[in-house]
């Protein structure tokens, strides 16, 4: 493992993120804060508790997961699309750096950014609603695993996209709707039986459910299944990244 190369790429990606810290952190935090104001305070005060949890506290894991998924995909996609756009990708491909080292650096940096953002959002949530974390170790595990898995997914999107506008297609038209329909603002047990079965085909359900379980000890699906789905998605994305570097798909023109 060429740790020097991994460290160089990793620190370069983080330094670029810190240069735009206001946009990278402030914008998602403000958006999430507005969700807490509207859904937590205005609407939540008129709703009954869900599984013994106040509605404002119930949506904390879901809103955090919404930000993590969106940012992970965006960070992962941007990290590899920028070298493609600028032409520096050929320097990376010709350097003595294996695909594992390159992916570790790029995806590691993207996941680090998303994880830090998730922690900031959790701290911000404290300003609006009291909540507790029953399983802090599992909370951190789901947070990091989700950030890594979707940073890998974003990496694939960054390679696939042929222009900057395409980077927004998947997050806007797929990730965000699936997150909203994945139990971020409600328990899927509140749905009619038919729609509950259909919702189980949404992979985000398992991410949100497992993350919420780490907070309150309640979930819509078993925590083992949530963990298995998260690891399975990560493995699928790793296989996709391996295939990209093996075949040179949209990397070698």
**pLDDT of the residue at 227:** 94
pLDDT value at position 44? 61
163 φψ region: left (φ > 0), alpha (ψ -120 to 50), beta (else) = beta
Contacts of 151 by beta carbon, 8 Å cutoff, 6+ apart: 72, 73, 75, 76, 107, 110, 111, 114
Tell me whether residue 176 is in a domain.
Answer: yes
Q: From first to last of the 253 residues of the chain, give the pLDDT tens digit.
A: 778 888 888 888 888 777 776 667 777 788 877 877 777 666 666 777 788 888 888 989 988 998 899 889 988 888 888 888 877 778 777 778 888 898 999 999 999 999 998 998 898 888 888 888 999 999 999 999 999 999 999 999 989 888 777 777 877 788 888 888 888 888 888 888 888 899 999 989 999 999 999 999 998 999 999 999 999 999 999 999 999 988 888 876 5
| Domain that includes residue 116, residue range | 3-247
Question: Whole-prediction pTM value?
Answer: 0.90
Three-class secondary structure assignment of the chain: CCHHHHHHHHHHHHHHHHHCHHHHHHHHHHHHHHHHHHHHHHHHHHCCCECCECHHHHHHHHHHHHHHHHHHHHHHHHHHHHHHHHCCHHHHHHCCCCHHHHHHHHHHHHHHHHHHHHHHHHHHHCCCCCCCCCCHHHHHHHHHHHHHHHHHHHHHHHHHCCCHHHHHHHHHHHHHHHHHCCCCCCCHHHCCHHHHHHHCCCHHHHHHHHHHHHHHCCCCCCHHHHHHHHHHHHHHHHHHHHHHHHHCCCCCC
**Is residue 226 included in any domain, yes or no?**
yes
Q: Tell whether 196 is covered by a domain.
A: yes
Is 90 a member of any domain?
yes
252 located within any domain: no
Question: Is residue 232 assigned to a domain?
Answer: yes
Give domain status of residue 185, yes or no. Answer: yes
Count of domains forming the chain = 1
pLDDT score at 153: 94
Residue at 253 is within a domain: no
Tokens 């930000």 -> residue: 67
């Amino acid at each position: 493992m060429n740790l020097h190369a991994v460290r160089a790429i990793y620190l370069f990606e983080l330094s670029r993120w810190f240069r735009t810290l206001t946009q990278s952190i402030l914008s998602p935090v403000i958006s999430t804060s507005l969700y807490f104001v509207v859904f937590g305070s205005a609407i939540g005060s008129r709703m009954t508790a869900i599984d013994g949890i106040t509605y404002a506290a119930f949506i904390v894991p879901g809103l955090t997961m919404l930000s993590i998924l969106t940012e992970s995909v965006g960070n992962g996609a941007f990290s590899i699309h920028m070298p493609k756009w600028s032409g520096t990708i050929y320097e990376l491909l010709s350097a003595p750096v294996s695909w594992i080292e390159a992916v570790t650096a790029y995806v590691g940096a993207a996941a680090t950014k998303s994880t830090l953002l998730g922690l900031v959002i959790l701290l911000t949530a404290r300003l609006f609603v009291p909540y507790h974390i029953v399983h802090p170790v599992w909370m951190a595990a789901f947070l990091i695993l989700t950030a890594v898995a979707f940073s890998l997914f974003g990496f694939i999107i960054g390679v696939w996209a042929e222009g900057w506008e395409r980077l927004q297609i998947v997050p806007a038209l797929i990730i965000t709707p699936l997150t909203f329909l994945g139990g971020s603002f409600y328990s899927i047990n509140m749905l009619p039986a038919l729609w509950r079965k259909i919702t189980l085909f949404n992979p985000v359900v398992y991410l949100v459910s497992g993350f919420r379980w780490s907070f309150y000890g309640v979930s819509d699906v078993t925590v083992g299944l949530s963990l298995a789905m998260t690891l399975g998605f990560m493995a699928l994305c790793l296989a996709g990244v391996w295939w990209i570097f093996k075949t040179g798909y949209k990397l070698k023109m």
